[in-house]
A and B are shown apart, each in its own frame.
Chain A
Amino acid sequence: MSDFLQMGLTGLSLGLMYALIAIGLTLIFGVMRVIQYAHGEMFMLGAFTLYFWHAELGLPYWLGVAVSAGLIFCLGAVLQVVLFRPLQGKNILYSLAVSLGLVLIISGSGQLLFGTTTKGIPSAVSGGVLISGAYLSYERIVISIVSIGLIVSLWAFLRHSVTGFAIRAVAEDPETAALQGIRTDRIHWIAFGLGSSMAAIAGCMMGTLLSIVPTMGFLATIKAFMIVIMGGLGSVVGALVGGLILGMIDSVVTTTISGDIAIILSFVVIFLILVFRPSGLFGQNWD
């Protein structure tokens, strides 16, 4: 029983973190209809920003998370304006190619600048608690709370703030939104920056839990895409549900059988979901 509780708790915290990465991606896709393949690189850069801030310079942890999120927000906004704006309205393959180029550049220069050795960020909180036989570290609790908080506040931002309304309007129909006086260009870079900084915060959280390397972005990209596709592109709820499904598969199958099977199984699950629901679990019918 305690085994299952342990797996469930691990899966839940893992799933929430995956969902945090994936929601940024789904926001970017939903608003701009571009494939941001370098999303995992934002995750990696976020983690490294915190590493330099907290582990090298010894500055406070939570401020570092904010700084990292802010920096990556700016980076995302600049990338959108410089690289992705010219591709607006073109075939989605072009944005895929450009972001693939970005992946190569960022992970290549990451290996060059940061070295290929694994690094770790010291945790902000230590200790843990036993819940009926299952061990849960305070770190994971904090990470889960931060993830939930961010997801809820993003949802509230999209629902209730003026900018959030504008973002949703642009996602729905850019031309009509522009006719209503919404500056779509500005919304585009805001959404891109927001999505990227979500990934950066996830990177900060993950960085304390696991070790960080410049090549870790690719795995995050894979996970994010798996989740987003499973949940339906552009759907925040879908990303949350997809993240939890993937986190559970990862946790349960890795502990009971093996990590290889977990990956095979999660791809099979995605394939089956797409076969029976070709637009993902919560996706609108999109061409």
Chain B
Amino acid sequence: MDISERPSHIAWGILLIVALAAPVLVNFDLYLIHVGITIAFNVALATSLWMIWTLGVISFAHAGFMGIGAYASALVLHKLGLSMWYGIWVGAAISGLIAMAIAVPLMRTRAVYFFMASWAVGEVIKRNFAFFKDFFGGWDGIFDIKQPVLDLGFLRIDFADRVAYYYLALFFAALTIWIIHRMNASRTGMIWWAIHENELLAEHTGINIFRQKVVCFTIACTLVGMTGALYAHYQTYISPKSFDIWKSEFALVHLIVGGLTSVAGPVSGAITLTVIDELLRATGYFRTIFFGVVLIASVLLLPGGLETVPGRVRKLVSRIRQK
């Protein structure tokens, strides 16, 4: 756990610079920029899931809440004719409100039962999108969700351009990471880790556990609702299948492969696994098989995840120096 104790500003700085320079580095290749945008969404998804993990539980409803944000924003565009700049807030608000309402009963359950209860919530959300055909478009989903245009008078950016959307997604992912990092470093974050470590003890030190859990869940779902809105306007097409259990499960996999103790975990896990997944894209069925092998190997051979790699390297270097 060396990495969480040492200042890692340099690593974050390098990551940000590389991410900012990425379109130039890949020579504006449209496919690679698409991969970059996918990475940004996956990072935002995994990081907000990690925020729930600081309470000690993993929510399988996370993709569902992403779906709520996406559908809300898409419907704001289609039914009200308002662009994403409004839709993203509506999506965040609806996602947050539903999350708060759901969290009140949901947080009664513990550990494994929480996985399943949240899974049920996610499935019901998805199935509702599929069932109400007139409003949500059924299994066919919603088409033609336009990218927004930023018009400041002197400056006009059309986000149908992929590079522009990349920077929007990057900005949003960075914002999510920053918010969650700040929350985690604050007193509130310490309270959540206290609940994670020992719920009974935390309760006896005067923490209102129930309220903290609901607050944490609501914030994480609000953030992921915004991610969903951005996702919808990038893909221009959403269907209930985009937000099924597999999306939540892959976010969980990103977390586990990356590491669970600091915000660096989900970020590194999401980046690495999205890149691996894209590299394997051409191999058909072998893609899922290789992905499974990578997953099992990383859990068994690299306990603690990718975030422990710098610490391991440092330990190795110091051992070599001593000899």
Flag whether A217 is at the interface (Cβ < 8 A): no
Instruction: Give the secondary structure class of A's interface.
Output: helix
Q: In the docked arrangement, what's the CA distance between A59 and B158, Å?
A: 66
Instruction: Mark the stretch among A7-15, A170-178, A272-280 that contacts chain B.
Output: A272-280
Q: For B187, what are the chain A residues with a Cβ–Cβ distance below 8 Å?
A: none
Would you call B296 and A111 a contact (CB within 8 A)? no
Would you call A102 and B256 a contact (CB within 8 A)? no
Flag whether B292 is at the interface (Cβ < 8 A): yes
Of the listed residues B115, B121, B252, B295, the one surrounded by the most CB atoms of chain A closer than 10 A to its CB is B295
Would you call A264 and B58 a contact (CB within 8 A)? no
Q: For A107, what are the chain B residues with a Cβ–Cβ distance below 8 Å?
A: 288
Task: Decide: A264 near B128, CB < 8 A? Known: A94-B256, A233-B112.
Answer: yes
Residues 280-305 of B, flagged 1 when their CB comes within 8 A of A and 0 if not, give 00000111110111111001100100
Q: Residue on B with the closest CB to A260?
A: B131
Task: Decide: A275 near B105, CB < 8 A? Known: A97-B299, A226-B116.
Answer: yes
Instruction: Give the secondary structure class of B's interface.
Output: helix
A-B Cβ contacts below 8 A, count: 128
**What 8 A-B pairs are tightest by C-beta distance, nearest first?**
A104-B292, A108-B288, A101-B295, A105-B292, A101-B296, A229-B116, A108-B289, A101-B292
Would you call B130 and A93 a contact (CB within 8 A)? no
Q: In the docked arrangement, what's the CA distance between A43 and B242, Å?
A: 27
Task: Decide: A261 near B299, CB < 8 A? Known: A92-B111, A104-B288, A274-B109.
Answer: no
Would you call A100 and B295 a contact (CB within 8 A)? yes
Flag whether A73 is at the interface (Cβ < 8 A): no
Q: For A101, what are the chain B residues with a Cβ–Cβ distance below 8 Å?
A: 291-296, 299
Would you call B109 and A264 a contact (CB within 8 A)? no
Q: For B296, what are the chain A residues with a Cβ–Cβ distance below 8 Å?
A: 83, 97-98, 101-102, 105
Q: For B113, what are the chain A residues with a Cβ–Cβ distance below 8 Å?
A: 229, 233, 274, 278-280, 283
Of B111, B121, B131, B253, the contact of A97 (CB 8 Å cutoff) = B253
Flag whether B98 is at the interface (Cβ < 8 A): no
What's the minimum C-beta distance from A97 to chain B, rounded to whole angstroms? 4
